[in-house]
Chain A
C-alpha cells in the first residue's frame, strides 16, 4: 500500500531525504530565491531552500520579503513552476547533416532517462503537470523528449501554508491541498513536516527516514492550515460552461481589456499549462549541419497565426480572445477540463496588471 498515513519528520531531517534521493541517483531540483523571485533549480541541500521567505502578489506586482520563520515553503509560487523540467523553453528535436552528394542525414539526440527529484511542488503545478501529460503523452503521438523527462521525475509535493492574493486554486478545484500525482507529500508546520507517500517509490524512501509518529495535534494543525489557505483566497473564477465564453465574443469587455493588453505574451510564458511552441532551423556557420529546434511560442506573437497572405489574428483583441477562450473554454472540449489551475501567475507577471479572473468573470457574468 503506497498511500500512508502521515508521519512526522523533523525539519533538520529533511536533508536526510535529499541525501537519500541523491543516493538513488536523483539530481535534486527545488525552490530557491533568485533575482527577487522563487525559482526551481538545481538544489545542493536544504540550506538553499527559501527559508523564511514570503511573497506578496497582486496583478502586475511580485515581491519577496524575509520573515523570521523557520519555514521553507511559506510562499505561494514564483514566475515559473516545474514546466521547464518536462517541456524546456528551447530544445533540439533533431539535427540535419548534408553530405557533398546532397544526401541528408537526420540525427535524433539521445533521450536518455535523467532522474530528477523535485522538492516542494505546489498543488496548482501538479495539476498543470497532469494537463501537460494529457497533452504530450496521452495523444495520438507521444512526445519522446517529454516522455523521457517525465518518466525520470520524482515529485515531493508540499501543501500550501499561505496563499498569495492572486491565488484562486479553490475555485478551479486544484488546491490548496494536493490529492494526487506525488511520490511524497509534505505539510509544513512550525516544528517540522508531516510526510506521507503516494507511490511505491515514495514508500520505499519513507521507510528509510528517521520518522516519528505524528501527534493528533500536528495532523489537526496541518488540516487547519490548508483550510485557512482556502478561506483566505479572495479571488474566485466563476465556472465557464463549455462553449459559453466562445459565444460571448461580442461582449464589450474584450475591447476594454484589449486596450490595456500589450500583447507581450508574458501571461502565456508563465502559465504552467500553456504548450504552444514553434520550430526553427539553426544552420551552423560551416553549412554542414543544421539544428532543428523547438521553442516556446505564444498566441500573442505575430507569427502564431500567420499564413501565406493571411493573418488569422491581426488584432490584440483577437489574440486576447484566443488566449482566454482557449484556456477557459475550448480547453474543456480538448482535455475534459479547463486549462487554468488557479496559480495566478498570468496576473502577477502581466506588465499591464490585467486581472485575468476579473476579466473572465465580467465576460461570463453577463451571459
Chain B
C-alpha cells in the first residue's frame, strides 16, 4: 500500500484483451518496482482503478495471487470510467489503489466440493475464485460452476464455459430463464438447476455472486438441501468511493461492504438481503 491511503499507485497497462461485446480484461503491472514487490492480494478482493481526469471505480482482481506482478481486471463498460478504461492501450498508465476488502475463504474450501453459483452477466469476483481453484484442482474434491442468465443471449463466455466443462473434475451447469433456439442447457430458474448438481452438500463450500434476489433464492435453496449456512459465502456490491470504510456509500446496515465485505458468510448478511433500501 502507498504511504498515503487515498493516493493511487501508478500501474502500466500490459495488455487490453477484448473478451466480448462490452467486456474487456486489463492486464496491469505496478509501475514502481517497490510497489510491485510489496503487492499481495487474495481472490475476491478488489482494487480502485483510476482513469486520468475522470475518476476511480472498484474492480475485482481476477488474476492469480501467486503472481501479483500481473494484475488482471475483467471489466464491463457501463459508464464514464469503465468506457475510458476500455480504450486504453498497452503502455498507458492508470492509478491503482488496493487491494481492499475480504476475499473468498479459499483455504476453508480445501478438501471439499466447491460450488460456485453466479447470476447475471458474468460476475468477476467468482471468476477470480474459479481461476484460483482451477490452478489448484488437487485441493478440491470437485469444482462445480453454475451460471444463470435471464435470457440465453446474455451468456457471454459460452466458449469459456465449454472449456471449463471439458476439464476433469469440473462440472458446468447453465440455465436461462428464457431461451432462444440453439440452447442445449436448462431453461428455467437457476434454483431448479441446483437440484441437478451432484455435490456432497455435507462437504461443500459454496460461493455465490449475482443480483441480491438471485443470491437469496440460491442460498435458501441450498440451505434447504442441507448445506450449512456457514459454508455459504456471498459477494456483495454497493457504490464505492473510498474503499476504506470512510465515505459511507457502501453501507449495508451496520456493515461497510468495502472493508467488512465484499465477501460475507451468509449468516452475517442474511437479515439484510431482502430489505428494500438497505
Contacts and interface: CB of A to CB of B under 8 A. Distances in A.
B242 interface: yes
Interface string B251-278: 1011000010000000000000001111
A96 B53 contact: yes
B40 interface: no
Interface string B103-142: 0000000000000000000000000000000000000000
Interface residues of B, number: 42
A34 interface: no
Contacts, number: 131
Interface string A227-271: 000000000000000000010010000000000000000000000
Contacts of B5: 141-144
Nearest to B242: A279
A103, A249, A312 interface centre (most CB from chain B within 10 Å) = A312
Query: SS class of chain B's interface: helix, strand, loop or mixed?
Result: loop
B248 A139 contact: no
Interface string B229-245: 00000000111011011
Contacts of B93: 98, 102-104
Contacts of B211: 310
Contacts of A304: 239, 249
B4 A312 contact: no
B246 A312 contact: no
Nearest to B249: A304
A276 interface: yes
Contacts of B55: 279-281, 292
B150 interface: no
Interface string B39-55: 00000000000101111
B158 to A, nearest CB: 22
Interface stretch (B6-14, B166-174, B184-192, B193-201): B6-14
A337 B259 CA distance: 20
Interface stretch (A11-19, A176-184, A326-334): A326-334
Contacts of B9: 106
A96 B241 contact: no
Contacts of A317: 277
Nearest to A246: B253
Contacts of B92: 102
Contact of A98 (B6, B52, B242, B245): B52
A305 interface: yes
Contact of A305 (B4, B52, B238, B242): B238
A107 to B, nearest CB: 8
A108 B241 CA distance: 18
A139 B246 CA distance: 9
A281 B51 CA distance: 10
A318 B275 CA distance: 10
A141 B7 contact: no
A277 B50 contact: no
B247 interface: yes
Contacts of A319: 277
B246 A136 contact: yes
Given A297-B248, A313-B277, A334 B7 contact: no
Contacts of A297: 241, 247-249
What 10 pairs between A and B have smallest CB-CB spacing?
A318-B277, A276-B248, A333-B254, A330-B254, A283-B53, A308-B78, A141-B244, A290-B53, A94-B7, A104-B93
B216 to A, nearest CB: 15
Interface in A96-153: 96, 98, 102-106, 108, 135-136, 139-144
A322 interface: yes
Given A140-B244, A276-B249, A307-B239, A96 B277 contact: no
A264 to B, nearest CB: 18
Given A93-B7, A279-B242, A333-B254, A312 B277 contact: yes
Contacts of A23: none
B31 to A, nearest CB: 8
Contacts of A303: 239
Nearest to A288: B53
Contacts of B254: 330-331, 333-334
Interface in B191-215: 211
A275 interface: yes
A96 B95 contact: yes
B56 interface: yes
A313 to B, nearest CB: 5
A61 interface: no
Nearest to B6: A93
Nearest to B93: A104
Interface string B1-23: 00011111110000000000000
A32 interface: no
A281 B53 contact: yes
A144 B2 CA distance: 12
A367 interface: no
B180 interface: no
A334 B255 CA distance: 8
